[in-house]
Amino acid sequence: MRKILILVLLLISLRSVAQDSLRVYNDTRNRITETGMKILGSWGLANVAVGSAGWAASAGGQNRYFYQMTTIWGGINFAIAIPGYFNARRKMGTDLTVPESLKDQQKIEKIFLVNGALDVVYIGAGFYLDSRGSNNSNPQLKGYGLSVGLQGAFLLLFDATMYRSQCGHGNKLRRFLEKNPVTFSGKAIGIQLNI
């Protein structure tokens, strides 16, 4: 009877330690995302402010179109950052199992990886528009191309940094799970044996 009581107490303490550690892990992932969304939102607002002022002050030509597209991209970046920020805030303090934590971690890493690939497309599109604008003496294409290229370059840097940060964080959990074959989900205990 005494051994059973000790085992039950051990399992209860294991559960609370595992859940607290996993909650801290998940909250850290959400803080990384929250910080990233603050940066993206600030970049978006700065682009709206500078773009609007430049657009209003431009008499025409390439600069007017550059600032016009910068304003549009700033608004889009800000609109993307707002729900991302609030989603990360909403998830703070939630209890997830190990599989749910891994799933959320892989999801956020994939989001930044896919966004990074899109950023390369934006940069290419910016070069293409700039080239077409130069070849056809079209200030609108040239201005739009320079703005799209600049936005793509910033977003590539942003998404690469976020991906690297999230992967580094995710690797902590993956390494821990590889080294520790005993798992506890809050409802079940499992032992992994490598043969």
Tens-digit pLDDT profile for residues 14-32: 444 445 589 999 999 999 9
* Eight-state DSSP code of residue 194: -
Neighbouring CB atoms inside 10 A of 40's CB total: 22
* Alpha carbon distance 115, 162 (integer Å): 10
pLDDT band at 8 (very low <50, low <70, confident <90, very high): very low
pLDDT of the residue at 99: 87
The residue-averaged pLDDT of 83-108 equals 94
The residue-averaged pLDDT of 25-51 equals 97
pLDDT of the residue at 191: 57
Predicted TM-score of the model (pTM): 0.82
* Residue 57 phi, psi (nearest 5): -85, -20
* Alpha carbon distance 49, 67 (integer Å): 10
Q: What is the secondary structure of 33-71 as a DSSP string?
A: HHHHHHHHHHHHHHHHHHHHHHHHH--SHHHHHHHHHHH
- Considering only the C-alpha atoms of the chain, give the largest distance between any 2 of them, rounded to a whole number of Å: 89
Q: Say if residue 50's pLDDT is above 90.
A: yes
Tens-digit pLDDT profile for residues 155-191: 999 999 999 999 999 999 888 877 776 555 555 555 5
